[in-house]
Chains A and B, each alone.
Chain A
Amino acid sequence: MKLSFAACLLFVCTSFVHANDGQRVDPMHTQHPDHLRGTIYSLLQPERHEQIVGEPWEKILKRGATDIRIRYSSVKPVPVQLAPLAAGEKKMEFADVLFAVLPAASSGDVLVSVTSSPLWNESNEGIVFETYGVRGSEANIHSTEAENNSSPTLKGNAYLQQFFRPTWFYLTAENFLYGYRIADIPVTYFFAVIFAVLSLLLFALKRDLLKAVSFAAIITITLFHGRFMKDLATNTMSDAMRWNNEGTFSEMADTFAISNDLKQETEATSLAYCGDNETPLQYFVFPHWFGTWETSSLAVLTSAQWFVERNTIYCVSNNTIRARSGSILKTYPHGWALARFSAYQ
């Protein structure tokens, strides 16, 4: 998965193509929003004065749509988030959203499938999507169209993909898991059917209901655990390898690298944080404390939420922009930066 993602990044970052008519682009597994920002930053590689922006979510209506066809032109790869549009008022979860990267193209024409989203089924009302770009040089989207290329084979593959779609293990996984779904139906229903069928089969053989249910229970739990263990083991190995190779894991992005640098700061200082959530970093930089943007000497800027223009650092967070003169001390691989405000230079 990691290799294919790296290969995809290499491809989209180095090529500027005339994409063929309806070239298929495979969507990748959803990433947590914090992690996603880092990926988008790596793809678009904005200059310090450039800001990454997301276009508003767009909705294309077509019942049971399987693919979205996008015709566009862009000098940079185009990160896209997309998902099936569920019928009714159902709220879309982050775990339902897919992520794809359209290659840079002067005249691109691509098809992206949404069937691997666990929200997809034939009663969906259409597709929603959002593109990202660097402000001022965003992709030109010429046209978008939802297509329904459904077939029994495609449906079978789609439901299989949905079943094996990994669950998230992020900071909040201690509280709940998003769960596995096929066609927006929790897989626990399917396992309950397996449990019932097994119980009846064993009862027919043994004529002892309690024994039958007990053995069926063991088999059902083993099957379910096998499915979950696949994700748990993959996640454990992935986290361990990323920690060894990149010094980070999960959605922690540059948290560890930046906290190591801040620990070297012997000067009594206060820190500002530009981003959505300083809680994990607060733990790692303790005894330094985060203060306000206006009174701090240093600032931690998280990915895709900041830019610099004429020695002024801008922080875009929670739909507000804060600005203060200063300079960037260091940038980090996932797009984070450490900045010093001018009054302290």
Chain B
Amino acid sequence: MTALFFILTAAMLSFEGVLILSFILPGKRHLPLVAGFSYPLGVFVNGLLFFIFTALHLKLSPTTIWIGHIALIVLLVAGTYLHAQSDSAIPTLSPVSQKQKHPWLTGLFLITAASTLIGAVVYVWLPLHVWDAYTNWNFRALQAFTDHEFLFYGVYKPQYPIVLQSLQVLFATSSGWSDPVVNGATYLLSLTTFVSIFLLLRTSYGSLVASIVCAAFATVPVAAIHLRQGYADIHVAGYVVLSALLLDLYARTNNWRYLLVSGFFVAAAAWTKIDGLYLGVIPWTVLSTWTMWKGKQLTNKKAWTIMISIITVSGLWMAFLSFRGLILSPHENTFALQWHPRNIKLISEEIFLQTSLGMHWWILIVTFCVLIIDQRKKEALKTMLLNPLFLWSSMTLLVVIFTYMFTGEGHQLPRHASLPRVMLTPTFLFSMSFVVLVANVIQTNVVRLTRFTARAGTQEQAAGLQSSTPPSSPPSRA
């Protein structure tokens, strides 16, 4: 019975995600993506619903929760019927049409990624076994489930955003509180995010690249550990990667639909953990503006509306905390400027010498150097430096280094408390952007990738994106 309720709850969240996405990404060719995105998006929507209940001082009782979700579904279904889609401005994705190279390699990389994911599933059935979850994550959700409200006083770190805890409370409401149920719900989020990343990459860059990227993620040791019974860091990284890929798609199509879905996922990252705000929302804001400028979209009202809405939604939780008189960070001196010179050595050790991040950073640095010195690939280098994926990666790395070198968070470093897991997002983003770039260079597709970036908005065909509008039509505008 527990399993049945678990499946029904997951299906309900996915259904909500599908309904929302059916407005934004209609069309048969979007179906695999919509299916992949549905659960991660449903999880975010559930978090927002719980926030509305909390802001309105409504108890998080089963009645409130189910009425809220039923009302949401009714609204979305009604909206689907009322809001007829005109097909004219809807882009339809078609996967990169290239001959499938090395299918056995693709298979091997997928097996590598899958083995980590499958190995991690064992821990769904084991009791909770991760440090911060005993205080900040599962415990806070357990308290909210027991008391029918999120507690803000007399509890550990009430500042943490509530997407994951809301997810756990929702599943506990349907299936009863147990570690397998609540850990299963968060594991499912990791799984669906990984699958979505694979599907999106496959659509944009082909199966081989998609499988290499997934294998690169799964071979980061600390990622493998977080997949077992993770808390927010792996989910922040997943949401940010999804958002970055969709922003990359927006940069190549100038279609607001991808910007909107990208915005949803970056907001979800901010609502999952405060790190999502500075690893996700800040780079997203900068890069969206930059992309709009590059694509001559600065006068596009729809794009601006999306940007302002996403920034507002992302910042709601912080505004709510301020309104309640809570300090914004659970750590002392997070926002204080402090210089930690000895952290240079510690950061280098954690990135290169501890096994938490494997060999990834050695390889990323060498690959970067090779791209710089390889004169034949100058065009590729230029493309890389202007690519949103690479720029986002660089921003996250700079933010992390700045945080540990120049703020009060630097005190955490000698205690090994957080750096490797915070580095998950930059590691994922850099691995992905380098795999995409190197694969394109090796396949001698430099020109194609360059063209996406240099002439964004006019080369949908070249990007593997086919618009149902005639080729001569201008990019869709609001």
Contacts and interface: CB of A to CB of B under 8 A. Distances in A.
A239 B219 contact: no
A228 B350 contact: no
A45 to B, nearest CB: 27
A171 B130 contact: yes
A214 B438 CA distance: 8
A180 B358 CA distance: 10
Nearest to B129: A250
B363 interface: yes
B362 A228 contact: no
Contacts of A252: 127, 129
B139 A283 contact: yes
Interface stretch (A53-61, A120-128, A184-192): A184-192
Interface in B412-470: 416-421, 438, 441-442
Nearest to A191: B359
Contacts of A280: 128, 134
B129 A286 contact: no
Interface string A149-177: 00000000000000000010101111111
B421 A179 contact: no
Interface residues of A, number: 51
Interface stretch (A66-74, A76-84, A229-237): A229-237
B362 A232 contact: no
A25 interface: no
A54 to B, nearest CB: 25
A246 to B, nearest CB: 12
Contacts of A222: 112, 219
Interface in A242-281: 243, 249-250, 252, 256, 279-280
Given A214-B438, A233-B119, A174 B126 contact: no
B273 interface: no
Given A210-B371, A210-B374, A210-B438, A177 B354 contact: yes
A191 B361 CA distance: 12
Contacts of B374: 209-210
A192 B360 CA distance: 10
Contacts of B363: 195, 213, 217, 220-221
A135 interface: no
A239 B224 CA distance: 15
B134 A283 contact: yes
A169 B122 CA distance: 15
Contacts of B441: 210
B355 A179 contact: yes
Contacts of B230: 174
A162 to B, nearest CB: 14
Query: Which bracket fits the contact residues of B?
Result: 35 or more
A296 interface: no
Contacts of A213: 363, 366-367, 370
B354 A221 contact: no
Contact of A169 (B225, B371, B421): B225
Contacts of A180: 355
B438 A236 contact: no
Interface in A188-207: 188-189, 191-192, 195, 199
A282 interface: yes
A114 B342 CA distance: 32
Contact of A174 (B352, B358, B421, B442): B421
Nearest to A217: B363
A224 interface: yes
Contacts of B225: 169, 173-174, 177, 232
A281 to B, nearest CB: 9
B126 A240 contact: yes
A287 interface: yes
Contacts of B125: 240
With a 10 A CB-CB cut-off, give which of B125, B230, B358, B418 has the most chain A CB atoms.
B358
A221 B416 contact: no
A176 B353 contact: no
Contacts of A167: 355
Contacts of A173: 225
Nearest to B435: A214
B122 A236 contact: yes
B176 interface: no
Contacts of A233: 119
B143 A286 contact: yes
- Sort A-B residue pairs by CB-CB distance and give the 8 closest, nearest first: A186-B353, A176-B416, A225-B219, A179-B355, A217-B363, A171-B131, A179-B354, A283-B134
5 contacts: A167-B355, A174-B130, A188-B362, A228-B358, A239-B122
Interface of A: 167, 169, 171-180, 186-189, 191-192, 195, 199, 209-211, 213-214, 217-218, 220-222, 224-225, 228-229, 232-233, 236, 239-240, 243, 249-250, 252, 256, 279-280, 282-284, 286-287
Given A191-B359, A210-B377, A239-B123, 5 more contacts: A171-B130, A174-B225, A188-B359, A224-B359, A225-B112
